[in-house]
């Protein structure tokens, strides 16, 4: 990856210098070449050997790539009837816990009754062996990198425990040079894209969820082995379109246009082909800049 890194550094020249003190504040550590948040320290071996069950369904994303899809998966897992399913944030978070987070912890995940729904931001190579060895089903949600970068920046600024004080230019530099939690967006996405044809993996794009939710709901329910009537699908689509938490400004495709300058976009367009390689993965970035 050195060659790609050199290209990125060249492409971001002229931007604010990186805010190196931020690393000291966040206490990141590097495991197998991936920068991880401090709460992952000391548990990566346990995660690698975490027992996976055949009826597990895992939801994996790079941070800020559309994890609200968990609400959709949770609803479908319960039969898809909105009047019978509580989609309150606390209920869904408790029902679809993070693998690597301190709460509820690995022991609590061990004790969960089947079938389990589990989510994670970890890259492919750091997930349990059973996840990679076809011992369960996995839904991977990807999102175009420009919108991910901007949403991740907002998260860093708004969340009290992070309290990021750097500029967006500095964050731009961090994103392109793999200096954020969970490592490189590009490596994270490409690793899963390379396994998109594995029978236990469903690779979906956030933009497809936003553009044609009905079709995507059908695909997800089919993958999960849940039969939904056309009426139920229609009700789900109407509900998703009416609820504020799924339709915030930062959730729109093309949100990046509110934050990127023309110069930043030009630099990004030079970097992206190097990072994404020629693998046939294309994203909807919204309207032309």
Residue-wise pLDDT for 6-43, tens only, equals: 344 444 444 555 565 555 557 899 999 999 999 999 99
Tell me the backbone φ, ψ of residue 61, rounded to 5 degrees.
Answer: -145, 160
pTM confidence score: 0.91
The count of other CB atoms within 10 Å of the CB of residue 126 is 24
Residue-wise pLDDT for 214-257, tens only, equals: 999 999 999 999 999 999 999 999 999 999 889 898 899 999 99
Domain annotation for the chain: domains and CATH numbers: 39-165+185-276 (3.40.50.300)
Query: Distance between CA 53 and CA 131 in Å, rounded?
Result: 9
Residue-wise pLDDT for 136-156, tens only, equals: 999 999 999 999 999 999 999
Residue-wise pLDDT for 64-119, tens only, equals: 998 889 999 999 999 999 999 999 999 999 999 999 999 999 999 999 999 999 99
Provide the annotated active-site residues: 121
Residue-wise pLDDT for 196-222, tens only, equals: 999 999 999 999 999 999 999 999 999
pLDDT reported for residue 20: 58
Tell me the backbone φ, ψ of residue 98, rounded to 5 degrees.
Answer: -75, 140
The count of other CB atoms within 10 Å of the CB of residue 200 is 16
pLDDT reported for residue 1: 33
* CB contact at 8 A, 21 and 163: no
* CB contact at 8 A, 147 and 256: yes
pLDDT reported for residue 67: 80
Q: How far is CA 98 from CA 39, 170, 231, 283, in A?
A: 12, 29, 32, 27
């Amino acid at each position: 990856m050195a060659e790609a890194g050199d290209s990125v550094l060249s492409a971001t020249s002229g931007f604010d210098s990186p805010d190196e003190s931020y690393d000291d504040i966040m206490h990141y550590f590097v495991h197998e070449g991936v920068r991880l948040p401090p709460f992952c320290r000391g548990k990566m071996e346990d995660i690698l050997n975490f027992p996976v069950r055949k009826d597990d369904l895992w939801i994996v994303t790079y941070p800020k790539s559309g994890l609200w899809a968990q609400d959709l998966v949770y609803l479908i897992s319960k039969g898809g009837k909105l009047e019978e399913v509580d989609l309150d944030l606390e209920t869904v978070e408790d029902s679809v816990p993070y693998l690597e987070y301190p709460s509820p912890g690995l022991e609590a995940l061990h004790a969960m009754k089947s079938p389990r729904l589990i989510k994670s931001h970890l890259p492919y190579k750091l997930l349990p062996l059973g996840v990679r060895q076809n011992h369960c089903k996995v839904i991977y949600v990807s999102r175009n990198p420009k919108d991910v970068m901007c949403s991740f920046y907002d998260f860093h600024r708004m969340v009290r425990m992070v309290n990021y004080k750097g500029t967006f230019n500095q964050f731009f530099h961090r994103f392109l040079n793999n200096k954020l939690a969970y490592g490189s967006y590009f490596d994270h996405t490409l690793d899963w894209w390379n396994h998109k044809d594995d029978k236990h993996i469903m690779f979906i794009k956030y933009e497809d969820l936003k553009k044609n939710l009905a079709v995507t709901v059908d695909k997800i329910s089919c993958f999960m082995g849940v039969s939904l009537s056309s009426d139920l699908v229609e009700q789900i689509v109407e509900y998703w379109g009416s609820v504020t938490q799924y339709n915030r400004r930062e959730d729109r495709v093309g949100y990046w246009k509110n934050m990127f300058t023309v110069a930043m976009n030009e630099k990004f367009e030079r970097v992206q082909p190097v990072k994404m390689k020629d693998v046939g993965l294309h994203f909807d970035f919204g309207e032309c800049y």
